[in-house]
Structure 1
Amino acid sequence: MNQPEGQGTISRGKSSKAKGKGKSKGPRKGRKKAVLIWIFFVVLFAIVCAVVGYLLVILNGERILSANVNKLNLDKASVIVDQNDKEIAKLYVSEGNREFVSFDKIPKKLQDAFVATEDKRFFEHNGIDLLGIGRALVKDVIARSAKEGASTITQQLSKNLFLNADKTIFRKGTEASIALALERKWSKQQILELYLNRIYFGKGQYGVKTAAKYYFNVSDLDKLELWQIATLAGIPKSPGTYNPISNPERSMDRRAVVLKLMYDQGLISLEEKEAAAKVVYDIKKASGQTGKYLTYVDYVLDEAIEKTGLSEEELRSAGYRITTTINTKAQTAMENEFANAERFETSKDERLVQGSMVIMDQYDGSLIAMVGGRDYQIQGLNRVTQQRQPGSSFKPIVDYGAAIDTGDYYPWSTVQDVKKCYGNYCPSNSNGNYLGTIPMKQAIKESRNASAVWLLNEIGISKGLSFAEKLGIKLEKEDRNLSTALGGLYRGVTPVQMVRAYGAFANGGTLQDPHSILKIEDSRGKKVYEYDESSATRVMSENTAYYVTQLLQGVVQKGGTGVRANFGGRPIAGKTGTTQAGIPNFKTTGNRDVWFVGYTPEWTAAVWYGYDKTDKDHYLKKSSGQAAAMFSAVMSKAMEGVKHKSFPIPSGLKDDEKLAGINGLIAAYSPEQVSVELTWSPVANEGMTYKIYRKVNGEADFRKIAETADPSYDDYAILPDQVITYYVTAYQASKKMESAPSEKVTITVTTGLEATPPPGEEGGEVDPPEESESPPESPPIEIVVPGGSPTPSPTPSPTPTNNPSETPIGDTPASPPAG
């Protein structure tokens, strides 16, 4: 039976579609099977590669371990030489720096501290910590370099025994292979025992027992206290940074981290953690070192670590040759003087008055010599890198140098030495004496605090801080106050920073990079580091440097606070500095720090004296003269045979300018006006004004009462029975210059009659005195108004005649800010 055409068509279409489906099923199943087969073989290949790779890693580790099982990676000492290639020290680590202790003699808490800090899954993994490696790789990718360690204790032992410290993927792989081999060969206890006996603890000390003896004088590890255990466990991460001698504060910070890890892992109680964290180091317990030039050698080692990125262990033991800038004659002279107890005050107990000194060649930044303390061989604390309050030795940096650098001030410019408060801050001269308007060179020579603060206030704190930063001393935000003018800093400065800053004044305005290393070569003679001489930068004009030098030369001349620094007829410039003891609930005139920083045309040096910790039983009785005397003693011997030079003199210097003083000052009482009329002879200079100063009986100091362009002034602010003394100065605002004070005249104000001068005088006019550095105050002229008996004028306060090096006028500022 015939079907309709449409239905047939539909039937054929379905049949065709069905046939099509049937035809495509076969090829698709074939493709899927091919993909599965391909994946199978890829996975199989990967498994084979992984197995082969794992076997190669295992075999490589076994091979290295078998070949080097007895290897000690400390067999070639590095040496330090001077510029003439003469050996001055060898950094070989002898067996005396390593003492083995068996596992059963290592206290459980000591083991726990190292495991908790270095590898808390030590007893769970098989030598490598995959979680730790993954975390390290992520951090390396983020940092775009191989910085993160994340090694297990076993891996660290592998590296210490057989590898260098190059942080590369290949080294990490080799390190892991050795770690796996170690884990198969030895038990966890054996690995931990070897690790604790081989790990480096800084200062040339290997192994936990040697470190305990060196840092704490503890031979029996069972007698270690928790704070000592945590300190030791914190050192291996960075031995040069976290050992308690080189950096006590950073070591205590690291100790706190270890204690927290131990607490978090349930190894100690909260009470134990808090008690151990409160202990302050007493570093005098450290055992002694031997050898020559110990401070200098340690400084070289620290600088080499910084410049090369190598570890201290590698630098000591891998056969490097380090060429330095040391001058052994100067170093020996310095060490001899610091060994002389007569150079220091006597302490009431075993805690010594400490000191440090560093000498630098200001023309290239070479560190010539340094001593870090009187007993450096015992303590190992390098005080040339420790921050202390600089006191008045900071004035050339933040006050006078900054002012001269503005171009508005010169050594002959005048400053105000007056008792004045700036808000709540009221600086004072230590002897309570104020001279009013004085030349800048007198203010710094006598180290007058009031003048320094006045000057910084005039130029602005920002200019002072900016100039200090140009000299390599970046101050804190807390230093944006006027106490900085007197060296009252938030954190302080180091002798190395001070010698660098003063060196820029000494060499004509260039800031050098202080350095002790010229070059470092490996055991094959390949150069791995060389000092870059282009690091010096000009930070001030030659004129500024020369004018500051002029000011500082006055400090060491007769009448200056640093007169004891002189030696050998050489040109010398410098500045003293002292800071108050500042002991809570204890009043004393003693000091916490004393300084002298100075220079000749050849070398610059900084000297610091003080106790490491100041308290009511440990503070300095004497002032900065002792530091100046140490400068003289060391430099005179160190510079024997060194050719004399002169300070560089730039061209285009301005001459020493002075304004003519005021003559002919006359004071007369006017009954009609009820005033004191002052007249004087005018000064023939353009833009001249006159400043009038007066002091009434009962007042301690003169104060400015007026400024006028006319050579006369009427003082109406008077009362009966007052004794008033006046003087006048000339002032030229365009040059910020003020003349020396005129002769003083005194008048006694009573009622009724006209004032007449005393016999033998004409209205108080006298001849001016001869100019001098610090003119003495002559008795003022007395003018008495009839109607009362003559009243003698108050006797002016004399300038102190004490030894200026021992009782400076302004070297002791107000207590610095907390911190």
Structure 2
Amino acid sequence: MVEQRPRGKQSSNKSKGKTRKRMTPRKWFFGLFFTAVIAIVCGIIGYLFIVLNGERILTEKADMLVLGEASIIYDVDGNEVSKLYNANENREIVEFDQIPKLMMDAVVATEDQRFYEHKGIDFWAIGRAVVKDVIARSAVEGGSTITQQLAKNMFLTADKTLFRKATEASIAVALENKKTKQEILTMYLNGIFFGKRVYGIKNAANYYFDKDPKDLELWEMATLAGMPKGPNRYNPIDNPEQSESRRAVVLKLMFDQGYITKQQMDEAVAVKYVAPKKLDDKQTDPYKAFIDYAIEEAIKVMPGGVTEQELRTGGYRIYTTLNTKAQTVVEDEFDNDSNFEKSVDDQKVQGAMIIMDHRDGSIQAMAGGRDYVRKGLNRVVVPRQPGSAFKPITSYGPALETGNFKPSTILANDKKCFGNYCPKDSKGATPISMTEAIKQSRNLPAVWTLNQVGVKSGLDFAKKLGFDLDSTQDRNLTIALGGLTHGVTPLQMAEAYSVFANGGKSVDAHAITSITSSKGKSLFTYHAPASKQLMKPETAWYMTQMLQTVLEKGGTGTGARIDRPVAGKTGTTQHGIPGFNSSGNRDAWFLGYTPEWTAAVWMGYDKTDKEHVLKKSSSQSAAMFSKVMSKAMKGVPKSSFNKPSGIPDEVKSLGAVTNFNAIYDAEHNKVQLSWEPSAGAKNITYEVYRKESAESEFKLYVDSLSSTGVDDMSIFAGMTYQYYVVAYDAENDLKSKPSDTITVQVPETEIDVPEVPMEPDDPSGGTDIPGLPGDGGEVTPDPGIPVDPTPPPVEGGNETPIPPDDGSNPTGGTPTDNGNHGNNGNNGNAGNHGNAGPGNGV
């Protein structure tokens, strides 16, 4: 029988049989050794990961190493007028050697005392930050180096996650491997945000102290060095006391680290900050309309093409034609509400103006509207209906170009229809010279002239001047009065009138002269295209002569006068609102030029409706021209309109026939016409024009009269006749202004039948009454009727109204003629569809 042992005892014996193993020094050594190796390997792997990860990020985002720099716009004199920063980042890059050493010392002393010792990561600072974070049980201390801050600002967000901190460290190490300490510090100072939409040390020095960085004093450097921790809290403008306290901390750190002496520290602490003058101007956007226009032009001319974003942050130097004196005058006058009609509500009467030097095409100034905002509606490039301002372009210019018309040429001015198109004119009557027609802005002569030269000639001439009119819808006589399908812009009108001012040669309007990189490398230089002779020099000269009379007494643009020669033209268009009976207008223009500059002024509502129409015509536009140009051109040397060589002197116009009389001679049943001879030339003959009451226009009754009188024998009883006389110089092909018009009424013939006693019945049954016509009876006519008095002087006409339009289109809409339409216009015939009647002819 086998004896069994108790379990507990067996277990006890087993346990006594085991021996405990001791850790020998050898084992401790190898344990620590392998632990250290593993730690070192992990550290190396971690470090390599950090380095490689940072290198990868820098490679992928290499373009971000180049800080976006605000491009700068300069005026015609090379003065900086604006910066084109991206969104809210107003930054201008400065090089290392332009930053004072004390400025760098202040930043290092405040932000990263061991900057010149570490390789991107300061482990002592990290350890200090970890201790503080543990004590506070939250992330309160960053421990970031300047290099890490640069990495965060350029590549990362501002959160404090572990992953973001690791990535920040990776980029910092990579930056230290690729960049020198001075490059890192320079990039850091160029990228810091200083509040007030200001980035970078250069812009901060300029904004807060009106200085370049190299001119900063110690207290100013300390003020800026203390701001990155809290740009708003330590802002010397918004929080001067906190800014002074922070400045004192920075100065104490600089003193403790041996950068400055105690005396320097004490003196810098004691200074009180005073904001520079015109501080508000540093945050405003001056010359908005011009700069917006210049940006668009710069995008077009930059080689290879750039986006607006790239243009703004590329650090380009953009040199323009901006005349700041003229631009300031324009903006001041457009800010003056008294220069515009008062509206019934908040929708203001708007306006636009552009000034250019037609000698080289440089744009001097422009106003895009009242209260213009950056990237707003620039009305300089918005189409509107030009009204009578288009007459020189489609009617009189083409006529002069044929060589068959001159300023003294007499134009028909009687009310008539061209096909079924009947233009309106308040005073159409006797013929009128081209000069007088332009001066008084008459409608009928303009339409008649275009009809004479042909609509095609008008379209072709306008095209030469830069107007791409609709060849189908604008092929009609209404273009003589500025009735267009799509309208024209103030810029286009200024360019067209510049051609007249420039002797008929093309003018290329431009705002950019050159563009360079921030390093001074030339990227674009403006070269004017070869000049083209768009019209005969004599056409331009004659037009200039005539347009000068518009500003003389009796002209429609007298309000545009300034202290130098000016040629110009007014233009007004009626409202064109269906069912609205009002004399209100839609557009009011003045186009004018001196021997040096050309300007276009437009006024009107963006949206024309029954509540928003102009009560006045072009007088306010002319007045705006005068106010702006008289001030803007001060200092511009005066010159005169010079007649081009080779153009013969035009013989002075013949004096109009005077003492013209027309008397009905009842005894001989005729009208006796007589006048005094015209002065001005020898061998003058006379032309007599007559119109019967039933006729629509005057007709030549007799010509080549060398005498000063003639009898009209071809009259009939009960008819009314009108007469005028024109003197003619055959040698110079020159006609005088028509004489006054006289009306003569020929009375009805009355028959006097005497009483006769009754005779006895004639056996034949006939009755004989002596004295009846055919039987020798006499008729005694009434005495002659006195002639009408001389009619009043001719005044400006009323143009065909703008066609119906609800006013919803701020560009002026696509008009349709409010009057009748003409027939197909070809080689002198009237147009087919009159698309827009211009305004009231002034």
Fold conserved between structures, TM > 0.5: yes
Please tell me whether residue 523 in structure 1 is matched to residue 518 in structure 2: yes
CA distance in 2, matches of 1:703, 1:92: 69
Out of 353, 362, 384, the residue aligned to residue 358 of structure 2 is: 362
Q: Secondary structure at the match of 2:529?
A: helix
Q: Secondary structure at the match of 1:467?
A: helix
Give the Å deviation of 1:721.
Answer: 4.1
Q: TM-score w.r.t. structure 1 length?
A: 0.60
CA distance in 2, matches of 1:615, 1:646: 43
Trace 1:555-634 onto structure 2 (pairs within 5 A). Answer: 555-567=550-562, 569-634=563-628
1:733–1:476: structure 2 CA closer, same or farther, 3 Å change rule? farther
Hey, what does 1:301 align to over in structure 2?
A: 295
Please tell me whether residue 489 in structure 1 is matched to residue 484 in structure 2: yes
Q: Secondary structure at the match of 1:350?
A: coil
1:666–1:380: structure 2 CA closer, same or farther, 3 Å change rule? closer
**Residue-by-residue CA offset, 1:288-317 (whole Å, 9 max, x unaligned):** x94100000000001111222211111111
Hey, what does 1:315 align to over in structure 2?
A: 311
Hey, what does 2:340 align to over in structure 1?
A: 344
Where structure 1 has 5 or more consecutive residues not aligned to the other structure, the ranges are 1-58, 98-160, 163-203, 205-288, 754-784, 802-807
Structure with a larger share of its residues in helix: 1
Hey, what does 2:427 align to over in structure 1?
A: 433
1:70–1:601: structure 2 CA closer, same or farther, 3 Å change rule? closer
Hey, what does 1:692 align to over in structure 2?
A: 689
Hey, what does 2:80 align to over in structure 1?
A: 87
Give the Å deviation of 1:531.
Answer: 1.0
- Which amino acid counterpart does residue 749 of structure 1 have in structure 2? V
CA distance in 2, matches of 1:439, 1:459: 16
Trace 1:669-688 onto structure 2 (pairs within 5 A). Answer: 676=671, 678=673
Paired residues of 1:671 and 1:752 also in contact (CA < 8 A): no
- Which amino acid counterpart does residue 634 of structure 2 have in structure 1? E
Give the Å deviation of 1:787.
Answer: 4.2
Give the Å deviation of 1:694.
Answer: 3.6
Please tell me whether residue 537 in structure 1 is matched to residue 532 in structure 2: yes
Paired residues of 1:365 and 1:513 also in contact (CA < 8 A): yes
- Which amino acid counterpart does residue 402 of structure 2 have in structure 1? T
Give the Å deviation of 1:65.
Answer: 6.9
Q: Secondary structure at the match of 2:553?
A: coil
Hey, what does 2:376 align to over in structure 1?
A: 380
Trace 1:206-355 onto structure 2 (pairs within 5 A). Answer: 290-308=284-302, 309-355=305-351
1:63–1:642: structure 2 CA closer, same or farther, 3 Å change rule? same
Range with bigger deviation, 63-72 or 366-375: 63-72
Please tell me whether residue 809 in structure 1 is matched to residue 797 in structure 2: yes
**Residue-by-residue CA offset, 1:236-274 (whole Å, 9 max, x unaligned):** xxxxxxxxxxxxxxxxxxxxxxxxxxxxxxxxxxxxxxx
Paired residues of 1:513 and 1:535 also in contact (CA < 8 A): no
Please tell me whether residue 414 in structure 1 is matched to residue 437 in structure 2: no
Give the Å deviation of 1:474.
Answer: 2.2
CA distance in 2, matches of 1:520, 1:314: 14
- Which amino acid counterpart does residue 558 of structure 1 have in structure 2? K
1:340–1:61: structure 2 CA closer, same or farther, 3 Å change rule? same
Q: Secondary structure at the match of 1:388?
A: coil
Q: Secondary structure at the match of 1:458?
A: helix
Please tell me whether residue 728 in structure 1 is matched to residue 725 in structure 2: yes
Give the Å deviation of 1:63.
Answer: 3.6
Range with bigger deviation, 670-679 or 308-317: 670-679
Q: Secondary structure at the match of 2:782?
A: coil
Please tell me whether residue 554 in structure 1 is matched to residue 549 in structure 2: yes
Out of 631, 642, 647, the residue aligned to residue 641 of structure 2 is: 647
1:744–1:489: structure 2 CA closer, same or farther, 3 Å change rule? closer
**Residue-by-residue CA offset, 1:409-449 (whole Å, 9 max, x unaligned):** 111221111111111211111xx212311111111000000
1:344–1:744: structure 2 CA closer, same or farther, 3 Å change rule? closer
CA distance in 1, matches of 2:312, 2:396: 45
CA distance in 2, matches of 1:62, 1:416: 85
1:538–1:800: structure 2 CA closer, same or farther, 3 Å change rule? closer
1:616–1:405: structure 2 CA closer, same or farther, 3 Å change rule? same
1:734–1:472: structure 2 CA closer, same or farther, 3 Å change rule? farther
1:749–1:545: structure 2 CA closer, same or farther, 3 Å change rule? same
**Residue-by-residue CA offset, 1:202-227 (whole Å, 9 max, x unaligned):** xx9xxxxxxxxxxxxxxxxxxxxxxx
1:618–1:723: structure 2 CA closer, same or farther, 3 Å change rule? same
Give the Å deviation of 1:677.
Answer: 5.8
Paired residues of 1:355 and 1:372 also in contact (CA < 8 A): yes
Out of 694, 698, 701, the residue aligned to residue 703 of structure 1 is: 698
Paired residues of 1:663 and 1:680 also in contact (CA < 8 A): yes
CA distance in 1, matches of 2:528, 2:63: 44
CA distance in 2, matches of 1:811, 1:632: 25
1:748–1:489: structure 2 CA closer, same or farther, 3 Å change rule? closer
Give the Å deviation of 1:470.
Answer: 1.5
- Which amino acid counterpart does residue 470 of structure 1 have in structure 2? K
Give the Å deviation of 1:393.
Answer: 0.7
Paired residues of 1:667 and 1:678 also in contact (CA < 8 A): yes
1:650–1:95: structure 2 CA closer, same or farther, 3 Å change rule? closer
Give the Å deviation of 1:649.
Answer: 1.8
CA distance in 2, matches of 1:73, 1:423: 70
Q: Secondary structure at the match of 1:538?
A: coil
- Which amino acid counterpart does residue 319 of structure 2 have in structure 1? T
Please tell me whether residue 402 in structure 1 is matched to residue 390 in structure 2: no
Please tell me whether residue 635 in structure 1 is matched to residue 635 in structure 2: no
Out of 449, 456, 463, the residue aligned to residue 455 of structure 1 is: 449
CA distance in 2, matches of 1:745, 1:586: 38
Paired residues of 2:71 and 2:85 also in contact (CA < 8 A): yes
1:732–1:786: structure 2 CA closer, same or farther, 3 Å change rule? farther
- Which amino acid counterpart does residue 617 of structure 1 have in structure 2? E
Trace 1:790-805 onto structure 2 (pairs within 5 A). Answer: 791-799=785-793
Hey, what does 2:475 align to over in structure 1?
A: 480
- Which amino acid counterpart does residue 619 of structure 2 have in structure 1? G
CA distance in 1, matches of 2:63, 2:456: 62
CA distance in 1, matches of 2:697, 2:367: 47
1:433–1:294: structure 2 CA closer, same or farther, 3 Å change rule? same
Paired residues of 2:684 and 2:729 also in contact (CA < 8 A): yes
**Residue-by-residue CA offset, 1:576-607 (whole Å, 9 max, x unaligned):** 00011101221211111110000111110000
Where structure 2 has 5 or more consecutive residues not aligned to the other structure, the ranges are 1-51, 91-153, 156-196, 198-282, 751-778, 804-814, 817-834, 837-842
**Residue-by-residue CA offset, 1:162-205 (whole Å, 9 max, x unaligned):** 9xxxxxxxxxxxxxxxxxxxxxxxxxxxxxxxxxxxxxxxxx9x
- Which amino acid counterpart does residue 551 of structure 1 have in structure 2? M
Give the Å deviation of 1:725.
Answer: 3.7
Give the Å deviation of 1:396.
Answer: 1.3
Range with bigger deviation, 790-799 or 437-446: 790-799
Give the Å deviation of 1:713.
Answer: 6.5
Q: Secondary structure at the match of 1:693?
A: strand
**Residue-by-residue CA offset, 1:316-360 (whole Å, 9 max, x unaligned):** 111111100000000000000000000111111111110000000
Paired residues of 2:494 and 2:600 also in contact (CA < 8 A): yes
CA distance in 2, matches of 1:493, 1:620: 19
- Which amino acid counterpart does residue 83 of structure 1 have in structure 2? V
CA distance in 2, matches of 1:664, 1:460: 37
1:60–1:302: structure 2 CA closer, same or farther, 3 Å change rule? farther
CA distance in 2, matches of 1:591, 1:70: 56
1:423–1:607: structure 2 CA closer, same or farther, 3 Å change rule? same
Paired residues of 2:575 and 2:802 also in contact (CA < 8 A): no
Paired residues of 2:666 and 2:783 also in contact (CA < 8 A): no
1:76–1:693: structure 2 CA closer, same or farther, 3 Å change rule? same
Out of 493, 496, 510, the residue aligned to residue 498 of structure 1 is: 493
Give the Å deviation of 1:467.
Answer: 1.6
Paired residues of 1:598 and 1:604 also in contact (CA < 8 A): yes
Q: TM-score w.r.t. structure 2 length?
A: 0.58
Give the Å deviation of 1:377.
Answer: 1.6
Hey, what does 1:47 align to over in structure 2?
A: none
CA distance in 2, matches of 1:77, 1:315: 9
